[in-house]
Amino acid sequence: METMGYPMGGGATRLYSNLAHTFSGSQHVPLPLTHLDPYQPADTILNPDFCQEQKGSPVSPLSPAEVLLQCEEALRDGPPRYHRTFIPPSNGDSSAIRVMQWNILAQALGEGLDSFVLCPLEALSWSRRKHLILEEILTYRPHILCLQEVDHYFDTFQPVLARLGYRSKFYPKPWSPCLNVKGNNGPDGCALFFDESRFEVLDCVSLQLSAMKIPTNQVALVMMLRCQSTKRCVCVAVTHLKARAGWEWLRNAQGADLLRQVQNVVQKHAARTSGGPSSPVPLIICGDFNAVPTEDVYHHFLTSPLGLDSAYKNLSQDNLTEPRYTTWKIRPTGECCATLDYIWYTQDSLTVDTVLDLPSEEDIGPNRLPSFSYPSDHLSLVCDFSFKENQ
């Protein structure tokens, strides 16, 4: 893939080595990273069986509780993080599937192009943000983790989360704006992680989303996963649609393309398993859609023949209204408080058991996001799903 803008910063390998040393002490054997080129499409980087570790890359397991404690220790001099609760309270059902959706804010964009005018530069440093991001993930320990704006996949998230029991896939944007930032860490993209103790992967498709058959700069990943214990399948997708006002038509076209591609994956799976159970495969589609609920792409998903609904409507009293915001930031152009992030699911095959609430305006504070308390301009969404018994 031809690169554009500034070259990647040279500290990527050093950064991961330092992070891994912090987490695992002197017993850690660093993963070799020199064979990974973030500028290449993900399919050319990873082995054909992308969930297998590269040969010669020893991986020793880490304890999630231990990593969480070390993150908290690294952040002990900072302000407290938001206290969030599940609504209704989680009943601890071991069969539930916990899903996290999060635009984590690409490091190059946070320090460069995004211009969060009231956020101190120190709060945007990677040395702080990496611990806040990992702390957020490990506080809720999702079985499926869908991330956008990931530009530290190879030197942080993949190696650390692999040692915590996650397998994953990453797909970078073809023309990532991160590459226009001096000292960047490579292109940003979407990443999908799953807990290998809960799931095995049957299929994975990396998509460059199209509009009117023309490829765009936005991408998606679609995975067919099978539960290790029940052998039931679920199809999971993660995406990040075009940002900014004036591009509503493009977001709608990209969303339509994603829905078609997800349906293709499900039909391909059904053809492979003909003669087996004929019930539809449950779908979970996560993403930063950059679209408020009044946009066409939202309506397109809500009225899709796939039977989708938005999980975070469960926070409202009538189960019909989206939250007031999933992102709240202040840029030179003004303040943005909007709902742009969603976890879609097939309501005929999945039940939403519980949803993680969102911090209040008072919690977030007058300078909004990101901040010393929170590493991204988008809030993480977390919910637990259960399979419907009649499926």
Give 181-229 pLDDT, tens digit per residue.
999 999 999 999 999 999 999 999 999 999 999 999 999 999 999 999 9
Q: Calculate mean pLDDT across residues 293-309.
A: 97
Top pLDDT among 51 and 153 is at 153
For residue 25, pLDDT beyond 60: no
**pLDDT of 347 above 70:** yes
Q: Which residues pair with 100 in a beta bridge?
A: 145, 382
By percentage, how much of the chain surpasses pLDDT 70?
83
pTM of the model: 0.86
Average pLDDT over residues 250-279: 87
pLDDT, position 280: 86
**Structure confidence at residue 372 (pLDDT):** 96
Average pLDDT of span 50-78: 74
Phi, psi (deg, nearest 5) at residue 211: -130, 120
Residue 355 exposed, middle or buried by CB count within 10 Å (0-12, 13-18, 19+): buried
Give backbone dihedrals phi and psi of 130, rounded to 5 degrees, phi first. Answer: -60, -40
Over residues 141-184, the pLDDT tens digits come to 999 999 999 999 999 999 999 999 999 999 999 999 999 999 99
Tokens 């996560």 locate to 286
Query: 57-71, 135-149, 268-282: lowest mean pLDDT where?
Result: 268-282
pLDDT surpassing 90 at residue 38: no
pLDDT-derived band at 134, boundaries 50, 70, 90: very high
Q: What is the pLDDT of residue 40?
A: 38
Report the amino acid identity of residue 41. Answer: P
Q: Which of 65-79, 225-239, 266-280, 298-312 has the lowest mean pLDDT?
A: 266-280
| CA-closest candidate to residue 170, choices 134, 146, 199 | 146
The C-alpha atoms of residue 95 and residue 215 are separated, in whole angstroms, by 39
Per-residue pLDDT at 93: 83
Which of 37-51, 69-83, 236-250 holds the top average pLDDT? 236-250
Return the closest-CA partner of residue 22 out of 98, 79, 73.
Answer: 73
Q: Which domains does the chain have, with CATH numbers?
A: 13-387 (3.60.10.10)
The Cα–Cα gap between 390 and 387 comes to: 9
Tell me the H-state helices in 3-142: 12-24, 42-45, 64-74, 107-108, 126-140
pLDDT mean across residues, the chain: 86
Region 96-121: mean pLDDT is 94
Averaged pLDDT, 28-55: 33
pLDDT over 70 at 284, yes or no: yes
* pLDDT mean over 323-335: 96
Residue 113's pLDDT is 83
Please state the rounded mean pLDDT for residues 303-320: 95
Question: Residue 34 pLDDT more than 60?
Answer: no
Mean pLDDT of 364-386: 97
Model pLDDT for residues 224-257, shown as the tens digit of each residue: 999 999 999 999 999 999 999 999 999 999 999 9
> Span 16-21, mean pLDDT?
42
Whether the predicted pLDDT of 140 surpasses 90? yes
